[in-house]
Amino acid sequence: MIAGTVAGVAGSLFAYLKGSVFPDNLGIALSVDALVMVLLGGVETVSGAVVGAIVYKALNIWLVSQTDLSKLVLGGFIVLIVVAFPKGIVGVLETIRNRRRPTSSKSTLLTSRIETAE
């Protein structure tokens, strides 16, 4: 219900800004772009969508200026990222951060086992 309200407000603001709205303005390509941004960043977190959008748009802009086959290269990169990192970019960064952080629960468990053994 909240999402529908926000979408309605966004649509009305978009129509007000553009002056008129046609189905061509929001086609399948834009929907696919939004889905790819979320998949790149990570589905499980809100920050994943933001990171995915930044990475996707930066790559898109850079590739368009570098090559005529920008859509092909971008598609290959997206497939590579989604296959290599199923949790997305943010999910991989969180996994790396959690591995580096020492866990206090393991040390307290080990300490309690040592005290019990004595």
Q: What is the pLDDT of residues 2-61, one digit of tens each?
A: 989 999 999 899 889 988 888 777 777 778 888 888 888 888 888 888 999 999 899 889
What does the alpha-carbon distance between residue 53 and residue 60 come to, in Å, rounded to a whole number? Answer: 10
**H helices within 19-87, ranges in order?**
28-41, 46-66, 70-84
Mean of pLDDT values over 57-71 = 87
- Residues 52-76, mean pLDDT to the nearest whole number: 88
In a domain, 17, yes or no: no
**Residue 22, phi then psi, degrees to nearest 5:** -125, 155
Q: Is residue 11 part of a domain?
A: no
| Residue 32 counted as domain residue | yes
How many structural domains comprise the chain? 1
Domain that holds residue 65: 26-117
CB 83 within 8 A of CB 89: no
Q: State the pLDDT at residue 31.
A: 80
Residue 13 forms part of a structural domain: no
Report the pLDDT value the prediction gives residue 88, as an integer from 0 to 100: 87
pTM score of the predicted model: 0.65
